[in-house]
Structure 1
Amino acid sequence: MVRRTRAAMEATRATLLATARRVFGERGYADTSMDDLTAQAGLTRGALYHHFGDKKGLLAAVVEQIDAETDLRLQAISGTAEDAWQGFCDRCRAYLEMALEPEIQRIVLRDARAVLGGTLPNSQRHCIASMQRLIDNLIQQGVVAQADPRALALLIYGGLAETAFWIAEEDDGNVRLAQGAAALKLLLRGMLVEPGSS
């Protein structure tokens, strides 16, 4: 029996992820067969089972990859802003806008919720932690009112996630995006320190 090198194993895993991401994005999870997916990847079902356990495990890995990329995009938005508060607001709005991107909409917001349920991948935890750090910084600067940064991050992230699901449910989510963005602006305004308060 020939042992495969670590590099070959990582290449197989990467090929399966890339193929699944493309096929899930084009057809959706339910309309993707494991046989077709592995054939398109030029690999066997055994490779899929070895690396991901099953089709559901493969979907979870694809979602985690997309979530990690999303978090990096959001960090870039808030990290490059000249004003920390505006960067935070822009980051939140961008999260809602991403609900209209076909790949995120189909794989993360529709299929993952239906198939994986309420599981919280590590990348989502990182997103919440990143948001918590931003909020804590804004509290320290006196921009955001005193509150527990973790609680605020969870509430805002949860609200953003549910609104993104709501936007993704609509075939043309632009109307819902506009409604969600207006509500977000109102919600975020409520976090600010009131003028004259100490």
Structure 2
Amino acid sequence: MKRNKEDTNETIRKLIEVARMYFTERGYADTALEDIVNETQLTRGALYHHFGNKKGLFQVVLESVQKEVAERVESEAAQSEDMWEQLFFGCRAFVAAAVEPHNKRIMLIDGPAVLGWEEWRKMDEQHSMQLMRSQLQLMQLQGCFAGVSIDALTHFLSGALNESALWIAQMPNSEQSLAESMGVISLLLERFKS
């Protein structure tokens, strides 16, 4: 029984890994399921059994990207003991991770187009946005953001970060654009701080 579970997990892992490579390189529309199953040396039946269809597979791939980005946000934020720096580092980590070539197409371009804006937002809320809300709530308990709605602030900052990521993703010099965006975020946070 244990072996069957391990085999199943390995099959799922292989399909997700190869699908992510194809979705990154070709995009959702130009990725053929036949290429994925050939590369993994699995059957279409295995893919359909575990994911239902191409959209189901893409959704799981996007979910894994969202989780990785959230883990990076958490890791980067933990680099400091200062709450304001944690917030800034987390914001920077989100934008930087979102525009990386292995994430950008799946997370920013195809994600909203394939799954729809509402489903994409729901996934974002479950991962990076949830971390931001927790940080802002903690900061409010420590006396920051007095009288400010944490829900409104979370959506405001998340929207700014998502829009920044979309802008940076289409700029020829993403490092410069990232630095410029983070300069604006830093200025905004400094205003809140004072």
Q: Would you call these one fold, judging by a TM-score over 0.5?
A: yes
* Partner SS state of residue 30, structure 2: coil
Q: CA RMSD in A?
A: 2.0
C-alpha displacement of 1:60: 0.9
Structure 1 length-normalised TM: 0.85
2:136 corresponds in structure 1 to 135
* 1:163 CA displacement: 1.6
CA deviation string 1:5-50 (max 9, x = no partner):
3332222111110111122222222221111111101111111111
Change (3 A) 1:8 1:123: farther
Q: Distance in 2 between matches of 1:44 and 1:175?
A: 45
Counterparts of 2:160 and 2:81, CA distance in 1: 26
More helix by share: 2
Q: Secondary structure at the match of 1:161?
A: helix
Structure 2 segments unaligned to the other structure (5+ residues): none
Distance 1:33 1:105, change over 3 A: same
Match in the other structure for 2:145 = 144
Partners of 1:72 and 1:98 lie apart in 2 by 10
Give the TM-score normalised by structure 2: 0.87
Q: Where does 1:41-80 land on structure 2 (aligned, <5 Å)?
A: 41-80=40-79
Bigger radius of gyration, 1 or 2? 1
Does the aligned pair in 2 maintain the 1:63–1:107 contact within 8 Å?
Answer: yes
Any idea what the Cα deviations from partners look like across 1:70-119, whole Å, max 9, x if unmatched?
11111112223121111111111222222331111122112222222211
Indicate the residue corresponding to 1:184 in structure 2: 185
Give 4+ residue runs of structure 1 displaced > 6 Å after superposition: none
CA distance in 2, matches of 1:50, 1:169: 37
Partner AA of 1:94 in structure 2: A
Question: 2:34 matched to 1:5?
Answer: no
Q: How far apart in 1 are the matches of 2:75 and 2:8?
A: 31
Q: Structure 1 stretches of 5 or more lacking a match? A: none
In 2, are the aligned partners of 1:29 and 1:111 still within 8 Å (CA)?
Answer: yes
